[in-house]
Amino acid sequence: MPEYVMQKKELAQAALKLRDVLCVAKEDFLKEGCPGSAGCVDYALELLNPILDLCIAKKLEESFYFTAYMGRIMGDHLGYSKYSAILV
């Protein structure tokens, strides 16, 4: 198994930036009259916040497959019919 070097300072900066970008996106969706899209951003933030909080606090101790995690949570989210209707 490969050895990873955790760059906690860089992870904290990236987590802050991702949270900021998602919050701006939510505000933009609301301004444009797209509450469904803003709701999707809220949902993504709800699921990401525990990981973002760990990164920002520089307490994430083990690497994990972030892309698989995101694909899973967003796939589950978009699989619900009430959210699928938003995308149509």
Does residue 2 fall inside a structural domain?
A: no
Residue 18 lies in a domain: yes
CA 13 – CA 10 distance, rounded (Å): 5
- Whether 29 maps to a domain, the answer reads yes
Domains of the chain: total: 1
Domain containing 39: what range?
Answer: 8-87
* Residue 12 is assigned to a structural domain of this protein: yes
Q: What is the DSSP string of 23-88?
A: HHHHHHHHHTT-HHHHHHHHHHHHHHHHHHHHHHTT---S---HHHHHHHHHHHHHHSHHHHHHH-
Tens of pLDDT, residue by residue over 21-66, are: 889 989 998 998 989 888 988 988 888 899 899 999 999 888 777 7
pTM of the predicted model as reported, rounded to 2 decimal places: 0.71
The CA-based dihedral angle spanning residues 3, 6, 7, 13, taken in that order and rounded to the nearest 10 degrees: 130
Q: Does some domain include residue 1?
A: no
pLDDT of residue 30: 93
Residue at 25 is within a domain:
yes
Nearest to 52 by CA among 83, 86, 12, 23: 12
